[in-house]
């Protein structure tokens, strides 16, 4: 059985998943995660990279407390507030953007905080529209605002910039960094995109194919806002040499 043990205010996240299996359509159990051990540094950006279908989303769901059906344990601070940015924005289409954010926001989150956040993400003029009127890029920003409005101590991002054109994705990555640096939060981001991983990560966690486990943890020591495109390319080509399977685009 699994144990989710609160460990007080240390802010430490220790994950030890012995096994997580799914029952396939033919009734045969398929192992998705096996011997997955990971310690997440508080107030840092941990980026998980792995081949597609390796169980990254399953891992995030377990971490978010949405799936308790696994063997192992997860230690996390008591009363962990979670901000989750899914692959799709998952905004409530029948509530205006403002309501979508307010509904999950932290109690101490004021109207002023909302305006500052919306301003930082360039959606101040979209607060009073319904999500159906937003482009995917704008809806993602609204979802990001919602995730930050909870004042999370664990921010989970599941391929948050997938299926956007590159300039839009790049702008959003910078916005994410900006908002994240304003209030450092323990964050776990899952991505396929190696350059995105190198641009955002404090720690790069490389995952094996299914049943997935941690192959290697690679720290990236330069602060995110000092990473130039040239530097990102350099780190990327270095990683490509060392871990060709994980970094072949």
Partner 1 sequence: MTITQSKIRRDARPWASSGPVVTLISFAGFVAVWFLAAYIADSKLLPGPVEVVEFTIDEAVNGPLLSELGITLWRVAAAFVIAMAIGSVIGIAMGESVVLNRWLDSWLIVLLNLPALVIIILAYVWFGLTEAAAIGAVALNKIPNVIVTLREGARSLDPGLDEMARAYRMPAMERLKHVILPQLQPYIAAASRTGLSLIWKIVLVVELLGRSNGVGFQLHLNFQLFNVTAILGYTIAFVAVMLAIEFFLVQPFERYTTRWRNRPV
Q: Return the CA Rg of the chain.
A: 18
- The span from the CA of 164 to the CA of 62, in Å, is 26
Nearer to partner 1, 66 or 182 (CB): 66
Nearer to partner 1, 62 or 239 (CB): 62
Tokens of 133: 């009127």
CA atoms within 13 A on the CB side of 183: 15
Phi and psi, residue 189, nearest 5°: -120, 140
Which listed range, 24-32, 94-102, 118-126, 167-175, lies at the site for partner 1 (CB under 8 A)? 94-102
Neighbour tally for 220: CB within 10 Å: 21
**Interaction residues for partner 1, span 99-138 (CB under 8 A):** 99, 103-104, 130, 132-133
Which listed range, 14-22, 87-95, 174-182, 207-215, lies at the site for partner 1 (CB under 8 A)? 87-95
Nearer to partner 1, 62 or 201 (CB): 62
User: Does residue 22 touch partner 1 according to CB under 8 A?
Assistant: no
Length of the chain counted residue by residue: 249
DSSP string of 113-125? HHHHHHHHTT-GG
User: Which has the closest alpha carbon to 49: 233, 241, 179, 216?
Assistant: 216
CB of 217 to partner 1, least distance (A): 25
CB of 219 to partner 1, least distance (A): 28
User: Which has the closest alpha carbon to 211: 51, 74, 62, 54?
Assistant: 54
User: Does residue 86 touch partner 1 according to CB under 8 A?
Assistant: yes
**Interaction residues for partner 1, span 47-66 (CB under 8 A):** 61, 64-66
Nearer to partner 1, 91 or 218 (CB): 91
User: Does residue 153 touch partner 1 according to CB under 8 A?
Assistant: no
Q: What residue ranges bind partner 1 (CB under 8 A)?
A: 61, 64-66, 81-84, 86, 88, 90, 92-95, 99, 103-104, 130, 132-133, 150, 156
């Amino acid at each position: 059985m699994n144990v989710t043990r609160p460990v007080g205010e240390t802010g430490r996240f220790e994950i030890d998943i012995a096994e997580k299996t799914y029952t396939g359509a033919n009734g045969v159990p398929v192992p998705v995660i096996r011997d997955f051990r990971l310690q997440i540094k508080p107030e840092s950006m941990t980026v998980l990279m792995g081949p597609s279908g390796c169980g990254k989303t399953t891992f995030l769901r377990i971490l978010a407390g949405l799936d308790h059906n696994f063997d192992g344990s997860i230690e996390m601070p008591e009363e962990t507030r979670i901000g989750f940015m899914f692959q799709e924005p998952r905004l409530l289409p029948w509530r205006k953007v403002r309501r979508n954010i307010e509904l999950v926001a932290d109690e101490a989150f004021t109207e002023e905080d909302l305006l500052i956040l919306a301003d930082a993400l360039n959606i101040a003029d979209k607060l009073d529209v319904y999500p159906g009127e937003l482009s995917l890029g704008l809806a993602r920003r609204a979802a990001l605002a919602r995730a930050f409005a909870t004042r999370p101590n664990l921010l989970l991002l599941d391929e948050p910039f997938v299926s956007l054109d590159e300039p839009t994705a790049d702008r959003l990555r910078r916005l994410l960094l900006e908002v994240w640096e304003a209030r450092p939060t323990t964050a776990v981001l899952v991505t396929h995109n190696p350059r995105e991983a190198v641009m955002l990560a404090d720690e790069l966690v490389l995952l094996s194919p299914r049943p997935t486990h941690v192959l290697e943890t690679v720290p990236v020591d330069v602060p995110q806002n000092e990473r130039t495109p040239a530097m990102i390319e350099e780190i990327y080509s270095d990683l490509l040499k060392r871990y060709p399977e994980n970094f072949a685009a």
